[in-house]
Structure 1
Amino acid sequence: MTFAYHYAQGGVFSSIGHTMKQRAGSESGRLRALRRAFDNALRLKGIPAEKLKWYRLWVRRFHRFLPEKPLPVRKPDDIALFLRNLDTDLNLAPWQREQASEALRVLYAVVLACPWAREWPPSPDVPSGNTRERRIVPGSASSPPRPREREGAGGALERLRSELRVRHYAFRTEKTYLHWVGRFLAWRRGRPVDEEIAAAVRSFLEDLAIRGKVASGTQRQALNAVAFYLHKVEGVPMGDLGDFTYARSSRRLPVVLSRPEVERLLSALPSSLSLPGGLLYGSGLRLMETLRLRVKDLDFELSQILVRDGKGKKDRVTILPDRYRSALEDHLEIVREIHEQDLKRGFGSSTFWPSLERKYPRAPQQWPWQFVFPSTRLTVDPATMTARRHHLHHTALQRGVTEAAARAGIDKCVTCHTLRHSFATHLL
């Protein structure tokens, strides 16, 4: 059964739990009609109502993957690149990738009734007369070298991943670079074949600033990712970008809480987050520095905390506040019990550095190397593909601090880093 297709350009299904600013007039109606058609198609396939939100999530994620390109005009190449990009995300299970593919199949084959979507997954389009090969016309100047596009975006991203891991880049940096290079390769497919690399990069960055309205830091992040890919992976000089439109950067003063406000905020934190939240302020730690603390990093005798691999890969020593000494000791007893239970079940390893684990293979299971704030469940380590216990997820602490500020009646934009700024200010 095929549904009539209605589309509001630039729109995408509204998020569960969040309200979306409604478009004026008929656009809002067309957007609702598209969502109803998509939901009806999923129900006819027998998808339970409680799982519809996950299929909508994949469509939203595909929309954000190429926000400058409306959904109806996207081609098989765009879908293939998106699915390849999902294959590079080690946090996704195979069934999640299949769910994403099925969501796009329903959208394009059933709701939008695209002829090319009848066979799934669709074959990438290769227009006749333009195979994207580098062409050199006799008697003319050779065109500038281009990345190996015939290999496909998936192969390019895999080579980028290998290069990042050889250089021991952080896992979060790897995910960020893969995202921006994938965006750049997808965006470049619609450009002229003989376009110079510098001009393509400049146009891509300007498009992010003008149409994407990204922040200056985001634009520079994309530039760093593309520059690394071209120089380290493809061995192609990027050239001089010249003058191009930078996203506007602003210099803002940090938000600082008063001492009474800090007391109210820490008191409003839930018990499970009171210790990590207290160390953000009491020790002046950054968010990930707090969550990555291991048992051996706490020195109760010297009342200090050793921060490993901080910003800039630097180690430093900070204070361990007396206020949380006894609470930390009680907390570590609970963590030790969890660790012993994991060992009895055949697990007990924490996520670890692969190179260090080769040198000390038993270290991940030893007590000093366990996280001070472990996750409540085991996870699959993307480096070893084994079940291990990671640290508490950063979003849990971020959300806890934000909600605690609201409960405490603090009318400021409070984040985890606000506590670090407050720590430094109160030391003056």
Structure 2
Amino acid sequence: MRVSLASPIALTCAAVLSLPLPLAAPAAATAPPAASALPPAPDDLPGSTQSLPLAPLGASSRAGGDGSARPADQGLTRRDVRPFSLLGVVWDDPRAALHGTVQVRTRATGGDVWSDWQDVETHTDQHGADPDSAEGASGARRGATAPLWVGDSDGVEIRVRAENGVPSLPDGLRLELIDPGEAPADTTRGTASTGTPTGLGASEAAATSANAELAPYGSAWIPALTKEETERTTVGGAPVQAAQAKKPYIGPRPKIVTRKGWGADERIREKGFVYTKTIKAAFVHHSATGNNYTCAQAPSVLRGIYRYHVLSSGWRDVGYNFAIDKCGTIYEGRAGGVAKPVLGAHTLGFNTNSMGVAVLGSYGSSTPPAAVVTAVARLTAWKLGLHGINPKGTVTLVSGGGNLYAKGKKVKFHAIAGHRDGYRTDCPGTRLYGKLPTTRTSSAKYQGR
């Protein structure tokens, strides 16, 4: 089963724990590369994506649940496929909404038992880049459902039904079956005398260099620091606000698994990084990928989401700035440096001056583990603290356009908000959303408030 954790994180970061290293100032906002800069998938890219066009379903497909299918229904009957672990549905026009239901069932690799039907969340524009951003206007983008983690499988069946009264489904519906592959082999070979990591490709060197003030080149994780150590490494150095110097309210830096640690192949994302000015708010999400994964599989889930966001959906990189698995492990998301204000694609209309934190799983009816709530509190206490933000306070953001707030409207949010606060959506799930008040209180305590 292709689920090995790149964890075997064999690098030592003890030196970082003992040396107070100042954070680099956030880079100035830069324009992203043109859409044509998105590279084709290299032939030797770990994993694979099978893209299967959907077709009209016949009357014998059972798509209607009563042995019948409607003219608008599309899907695929049971079939054998190459092994995969994550799936989703994409279509041609990113502005077209899929008003309907998507259900799949799968067969575990090597077995003959099929799963029950599972729902795939059909949101199309709840996440993603803001409409007027270069990424949002990219011609590479496609409409897409949420990805669903189904585990190691080699058989699939899918049915897509339009809602009553909807005459048709979006054009170009395709089922994407993603094998996240093994994590790329460790290519770190040391550091040249110039301080540049040797043995790393240019994109990987850039991604690891973005965290150079926090951990050695090629590190699989950024080590945790105590509150006192965190204050020594940050106070007086950007991006900490000047007002923080007298009384810093910065939470202890948590351990963060880097992109190297979870096995991101840096060759598939667009080159370069895009930054916003600051971080005022943290939007909490769930990935809607389901809870049928082990914590050892979380890096594979992340590699699958990354591949789906970039190669299937046409995004410049994975959309979230951070991810947290159900055991509370924190992962670096979009490349550019965990301490820097990287512009994400997570809360349509409010990506500017915010960060997105995705809890891997679905939390509409499932209660998030205590470890998840603690991890969100610790992460936000540190990252919001770097920018002088009180987790129990409120902040004002300007809408880039969405279904709740018109473009240009100034909106007041909790500093730790749920996705549904900025967009009409169920995300981050009722059960996770209900934990946010506790998260705000805990986060503030970690800051010493």
| TM-score bracket for the superposition, by shorter chain length | under 0.3
Bigger radius of gyration? 1
Give TM-score, length-normalised by structure 2: 0.23
Considering fraction of residues, name the structure with more helix: 1
Q: TM-score, normalised by structure 1?
A: 0.23
Which protein has the bigger strand share? 2
